[in-house]
Amino acid sequence: MNTLVIHNPSYKIETACLLKKLLLVANSLLAASCALLITSILISYPFAGYFSIPVQISAHISTIVIAAILKISYVLRCIALHGMGKEVR
């Protein structure tokens, strides 16, 4: 049984465009999560006296959640760079 394989040149263009968008989103998410993580750590520890207990509890919980988002955004960034054939750092 013979099969006909048709190569679609626009597939590579679509993939490259998708990877660029993924890199942009991952970098933006990485920067935002870093800023939020620093903010939640500052609220949780050095400036805890200026905030109420519910705010401190929220900051402690959000530190864990934001750290997970930071890790996911870094993995997405690595996937995008690898897909584009660039060095992953």
Structure tokens at 39: 């903010």
How much is the average pLDDT of 16-39?
A: 97
pLDDT band, residue 8 (cuts 50/70/90): low
Start-end of H helices in 2-52: 9-44
- pLDDT of 17 > 70? The answer is yes
For the chain, how long is the longest CA-to-CA vector?
75
Return the domain boundaries, the chain: 24-83
Tens of pLDDT, residue by residue over 39-80, are 999 999 999 999 999 999 999 999 999 999 999 999 999 999
- Supply the pLDDT for residue 12: 74
The gap from C-alpha 44 to its chain's centroid, in whole angstroms, comes to 23
